[in-house]
Amino acid sequence: MSKKAAKLLSDSSDWTFELIEKYDCEIGRIARAFGLDTYPNQIEIIRSDQMMDAYSSIGMPVGYNHWSFGKHFVDVERNYERGLMGLAYEIVINSNPCIAYLMEENNMTMQALVIAHACYGHNSFFKGNYLFRTWTDASAIIDYLVFAKKYIRDSEERYGPQAVEEILDSSHALMNYGVDRYKRPYPISAEEEKRRQAERAEYVQRNLNTLWRTIPQSKQVDEDEEICFPSEPQENLLYFIEKNAPLLEPWQREIVRIVRKVAQYFYPQRQTQVMNEGWATFWHYTLLNQLYDEGLVDDGFMMEFLASHTAVLNQPSFDHPAYRGINPYALGFAMYSDLRRICEHPTDEDREWFPEIAGADWLEVLPNAMRDFKDESFIQQFLSPKVMRDLRLFGVMDDDTESDIEVSAIHDNDGYRRVRELLASQYNLGDQEPNIQVTRVELKGDRSLTLQHFQHQRRPLGATTDAVLKHMHRLWGFPVYLESVWQDEVVDSVCCPKEKTKEQAA
Amino acid sequence: MSYIIDRRENPKNKSAVNRQRFLDRYKKHIKKAVSDAIDTRSITDVERGEEVTIAGDDISEPVFQHGSGGRRSVVRPGNKEFVAGDRIPRPPGGGSGSGGEASDSGEGDDDFVFQLTQDEFLEFLFDDLELPNLTKRHLKGSSSFKYEHAGFTNDGVPAKLSVLRSLKQAKARRIALCGESRRRLSAAIEKLEEAEAKGDELGIFRLTDEIERLEKRIKRVPFLDTTDLRFKMHVKRPVPTSQAVMFCLMDVSGSMDQSIKDMAKRFYLLLYMFLKRHYEKTDIVFIRHHTVAKEVEEQEFFYSRETGGTVVSSALKLMDEIIEARYSPDDWNIYGAQASDGDNWNDDSPTCTKLLREKLLPVVQYFAYVEITKRSHQALWREYDQLSEEFPEAFAQRHIQKISDIFPVFHDLFHKKDEA
């Protein structure tokens, strides 16, 4: 017993810098033994009010100024002061080195949990997952944010905070439509941005003039021929605005671009919530258990750790007052744990459903299931019948043409595939967000812009549409139409400014 | 290997700018909440912050969303008794009633509530108010002085010697005086080495001699000379007085009941906080009166009760005496605020007007009279009417009937004049 006690890393719950270093060292050693590949870690100890700052600026250590961050801040501050909300244990930033925040109020157990979760779990996910690898550049993001902050501050000095705020408001409203879904973006770098920014501003302005040129061209264009612009529908609305909006000044285009780049940076995170949190949770659980098995931490440590761990994984059922949708931590953790079980202790059912991984080496299967998937495909590929049974998942179909809602499938032999399909599509951003594209610009007429909303499952747009359209109108500078299309037919149409409908205008 | 960094010492309030922007944007809403608050608050706690509520629609950040309707499939956890094909009546409240969806789209519907700090609260409260006649004595009264740093000078007392500046100066002088000699010295040393290599005896002798001479010359330049010394210079600058005294005059005769006094107190408190924001030092003098006036402490001023008639001029006379004795108009910005229910001995009102016109109004920055009564105007009001015509800059009178009048009246009294 005394021999065992001598190996303990700590015997009190208070943390010190030496202890954090010791824990980090041990957890890092175990993580490497399991084959986790990570960026170097930068662990920062902060106060709770600094955590609130970080919270309200979407977790980034530098950010440009905007009132909406202030709004989030007062909201977080109020909830925290009233005890409605505990602050998150951790914020971790996809950068190289990977920055993780620890709060000074936490005790040693929580710090160890956060180190395992953020510095080795999330960190290895950022470095390994294909979306992060191809869509974000961890080594350049901080520099880019510094560039963005400075650019926006300079613009405020030159053109006034009001003007800058208007552009930012409008760009934020369209932020989710500032992402290239299929084309892989160039990595961003602050140096490059600065070098090319002036050049780009000039080029775009010149190009636009060509597009809107009114002086007759020497070569006679056939008047009858309809020029279609854009030649193909564009789904990246912010990119379209940045390149084609006729009235924006170069600095305004640059701000639109900044918002677009930030949206692009967060796009992988929005698509890998379940995987990312599940992976980090799975690893903090595995790493800290290994610490315990090696006798480095005692029972008290484990009890406390497990209490927080189970609290994080709490999944209220659908009829519970606390139900807020499916908890990504719970689903992700259940799936990764189950994958390990399938590898180590496969049942007949597993052999039938997952013939190629049942009984394989889990240390090869799991990293694979982290690297090459996003939430949608991960669930489609790996959600096992056992997890569906454990979480008692069932699908509900709500059709507004019927009076009742229908239970379409449950966790039984007939329903597994259907439930899995439904759940996967629930994590498909393309289905979650209305599909809106730029289809037409009146080059010769009133320069109006037409957007089309391609309805998914006949779902209409929500109440905020008018407000967003106003923002679109502000950026474009000429009338903006939005048509909702269902089965090749326009079923609804709105316009900004409001005065005239399209028929009257024509 | 991980880096562990202690960031706890980093500056606070990183979000202050964003917070301020948010407040600026919703100024209108916040100001309304603030002026509502001032009406309902009890007298002692005006100096804390205030909770502000803004309707959710006004501050939403809209994005494209799906509305209700159409066909939607959702997967939920925690099935208990359903089997495939079950049909359930749609839950009331429309839509799918899903928690996950509701938290996305429902966010905008709640009112947004947050806390203003005390400073922000006062900032909004006094936002478009200003002190009248502020310039008059601001420049005039300058009896105090401040020493300010004003560069460096060549002579001074040793205590003010600036070591850094002096040594910089010395170094510059040394470079200027020995630069040429040093260059020749290093050239000579080089040549000496060459000569030694060649074995040129005469050259060696000549060069050694020259080196010696140059070294001596360099040595003669002193390390520190008296001309190098620099002293810090300070100049005496007059500081405009920024101190104010506020006279609170109140009638405590039998007709003033506690609710009237409470209203008066609120008015005084607002005035006090307002003055405090403008002046480094603010004194208050409490004068209460019935037939005779007396200078009292705050507690007694507001809470003791007396009976008897009312002679307002007694208070004005006392105020004049106190100004003469303790608050010279050259040094102090003087403000007067008088609250009363308007009762006065009929013979006394002209005396009051005379006192104000001849003695007080010429020396005070501002004198405000508030009549707190539900009845029609009394004799004093009519007398004072003439004054507000004669001294539109320095005198004002207002009528307060109920608690919610206080802030509007206050606001009206100190409203920025240039807007009118």
Looking at the complex, report in whole angstroms how far the Cα of residue B113 sits from the nearest Cα belonging to chain A.
8
Flag whether pLDDT at A467 surpasses 50.
Answer: yes
- Residues from chain A contacting residue B18 (CB–CB below 8 Å): 56-57, 65-67, 69-70, 73
Query: How do strand B144-153 and strand B231-239 relate by DSSP bridges?
Result: antiparallel
SS3 B232: strand
Helix axes B406-413, B258-278, angle to 10 degrees: 40
Contact A99, A10 (CB under 8 A): no
Same domain, B263 and B390: yes
The pLDDT confidence band at residue A1, using thresholds 50, 70 and 90, is very low
Same domain, A409 and A336: yes
Per-residue pLDDT tens digits for B291-349: 888 888 877 777 776 777 778 888 888 988 998 888 888 778 888 888 888 777 777 88
Distance CA A305, CA A106 (A): 12
Residue B95 lies inside a defined structural domain of this protein: no
C-alpha distances in Å from residue A130, one per residue of A126, A127, A271, A335, A356: 9, 8, 12, 19, 22
Residue B149 lies inside a defined structural domain of this protein: no
Residue B73 lies inside a defined structural domain of this protein: no
Hunting for tokens 């918002």 — which residue is that?
A: A259
Token couple for A57: 């600026």
CATH code of A451's domain = 3.40.1350
Same domain, A416 and A444: no
Q: Using the 3D structure, point to which of B181, B212, B233 is the last residue of a domain.
A: B233
Distance CA B380, CA B19 (A): 48
Q: Using the 3D structure, point to which of A280, A305, A330 is the last residue of a domain.
A: A305
CATH code of B251's domain = 3.40.50.410
- Read off the pLDDT of each residue in B202-221 and give the average, rounded to a whole number: 88
CB neighbour class for A1 (10 Å; exposed up to 12, middle 13-18, buried from 19)? exposed
Q: What is the DSSP letter of B402?
A: S
- Residues from chain A contacting residue B10 (CB–CB below 8 Å): 46, 50
CB contact under 8 A, B6 and A17: yes
Same domain, B360 and B258: yes
Contact A27, A314 (CB under 8 A): no
Same domain, B281 and B399: yes
Distance CA B80, CA A352 (A): 27
Distance CA B3, CA A95 (A): 14
Same domain, B256 and B297: yes
Angle at A176 between CA A174 and CA A179, to 5 degrees: 105
The pLDDT confidence band at residue A293, using thresholds 50, 70 and 90, is very high
User: Among A116, A120, A63, A60, which residue's Cα sits nearest to residue A91?
Assistant: A60
DSSP for A74-96, written as a single string: HHHHHHHHTTS-PPPS-EEE-SS
Same domain, B353 and B258: yes
- C-beta neighbour count of A336 within 10 angstroms: 26
Same domain, A419 and A450: no
* Residue A5 or residue B215, greater confidence: B215
SS3 B27: helix
The pLDDT of residue A348 is: 92
Per-residue pLDDT tens digits for A17-67: 999 999 999 999 999 999 999 999 999 998 888 888 887 776 677 888 888
Flag whether pLDDT at B44 surpasses 60.
Answer: no
Residue B78 lies inside a defined structural domain of this protein: no
Same domain, A122 and A36: yes
Same domain, B210 and B256: no
Note down the domain range covering A376.
313-430
Same domain, A352 and A410: yes
Q: Using the 3D structure, point to which of B233, B251, B274 is the last residue of a domain.
A: B233
**Across the interface, which of A320, A414, A468 has its CB nearest the CB of B62?**
A468
Residue B145 lies inside a defined structural domain of this protein: no
* Mean pLDDT lowest among A50-59, A93-102, B137-146: B137-146
Helix axes B348-355, B312-326, angle to 10 degrees: 20
Residue A213 lies inside a defined structural domain of this protein: no
Flag whether pLDDT at A505 surpasses 50.
Answer: no
Give the predicted TM-score (pTM) of the model. 0.71
Flag whether pLDDT at A152 surpasses 90.
Answer: yes
Residue B143 lies inside a defined structural domain of this protein: no
- C-beta neighbour count of B166 within 10 angstroms: 17
Residue spans of beta strands (DSSP E) within A445-497: 449-454, 480-486, 489-496
Contact B243, B331 (CB under 8 A): yes
Report how far apart the first and last C-alpha atoms of chain A are (Å, whole number): 88
Same domain, A26 and A122: yes
**Across the interface, which of B12, B22, B103 has its CB nearest the CB of A67?**
B22
The pLDDT confidence band at residue A278, using thresholds 50, 70 and 90, is very high
Same domain, A65 and A86: yes
Select from B18, B26, B68, B113 the residue whose CB has the most chain A CBs within 10 Å, as the one to mutate to test that interface: B18
Helix axes A465-476, A237-244, angle to 10 degrees: 20
Looking at the complex, report in whole angstroms how far the Cα of residue B98 sits from the nearest Cα belonging to chain A.
7
Flag whether pLDDT at B204 surpasses 60.
Answer: yes
Same domain, B265 and B397: yes
Residue B83 lies inside a defined structural domain of this protein: no
CB neighbour class for A65 (10 Å; exposed up to 12, middle 13-18, buried from 19)? buried
CB contact under 8 A, B65 and A464: yes
Same domain, A282 and A301: yes
The pLDDT of residue A187 is: 57
- Residues from chain A contacting residue B72 (CB–CB below 8 Å): 397-398, 457, 459
Residue A325 lies inside a defined structural domain of this protein: yes
Q: What does the mean pLDDT of chain A come to?
A: 85
Same domain, A375 and A409: yes
Buried b / exposed e over B340-361, threshold 16 CB at 10 Å, is bbbbbbeebbebbbebbeebbb
- Could you give the dihedral angle defined by the CA atoms of residues A488, A492, A495 and A498, in that order, rounded to the nearest 10 degrees? 160
C-alpha distances in Å from residue A227, one per residue of A39, A223, A234, B376: 50, 9, 16, 78
Report how far apart the first and last C-alpha atoms of chain B are (Å, whole number): 68
Select from A170, A405, A416, A469 the residue whose CB has the most chain B CBs within 10 Å, as the one to mutate to test that interface: A405
* Residue A220 or residue A88, greater confidence: A88
Distance CA B331, CA B325 (A): 13
Flag whether pLDDT at B179 surpasses 50.
Answer: yes
Looking at the complex, report in whole angstroms how far the Cα of residue A25 sits from the nearest Cα belonging to chain B.
8
- Residues from chain B contacting residue A46 (CB–CB below 8 Å): 7-8, 10
The pLDDT confidence band at residue A288, using thresholds 50, 70 and 90, is very high
Same domain, B415 and B326: yes
Flag whether pLDDT at A228 surpasses 60.
Answer: yes
* Mean pLDDT lowest among A34-38, A331-335, B100-104, B147-151: B100-104
Contact A121, A23 (CB under 8 A): no
Q: Using the 3D structure, point to which of B203, B233, B263 is the last residue of a domain.
A: B233
Distance CA B404, CA A334 (A): 60
Looking at the complex, report in whole angstroms how far the Cα of residue B12 sits from the nearest Cα belonging to chain A.
7
Same domain, A426 and A439: no
Per-residue pLDDT tens digits for A250-269: 999 999 999 998 888 888 88
Distance CA B97, CA B100 (A): 9
Looking at the complex, report in whole angstroms how far the Cα of residue B38 sits from the nearest Cα belonging to chain A.
22
Residue B201 lies inside a defined structural domain of this protein: yes
Residues near B328 by Cβ (< 8 Å), separated by ≥ 6? none
Residue A201 lies inside a defined structural domain of this protein: no
The pLDDT of residue B109 is: 46
Note down the domain range covering B186.
158-233
The pLDDT of residue B420 is: 35
**Across the interface, which of B2, B79, B108 has its CB nearest the CB of A392?**
B79
Domain count, chain B: 3
Select from B13, B60, B75 the residue whose CB has the most chain A CBs within 10 Å, as the one to mutate to test that interface: B75
Residue A160 lies inside a defined structural domain of this protein: no
Buried b / exposed e over A184-215, threshold 16 CB at 10 Å, is ebeebbbeebeeebeebeeebeeebeeeeeee
On the question of a cis peptide bond just before residue A250, with omega within 30 degrees of 0, the verdict is: no
Same domain, B286 and B372: yes
Domain count, chain A: 3
CB contact under 8 A, A73 and B19: yes
Same domain, B252 and B392: yes
Q: What is the ipTM of this complex?
A: 0.78
Hunting for tokens 């494209």 — which residue is that?
A: B64
Same domain, A361 and A321: yes
Q: Which residue on chain B is closest to A322 by alpha carbon? A: B99
Looking at the complex, report in whole angstroms how far the Cα of residue B374 sits from the nearest Cα belonging to chain A.
42
Same domain, A424 and A438: no
Token couple for A147: 């560039």
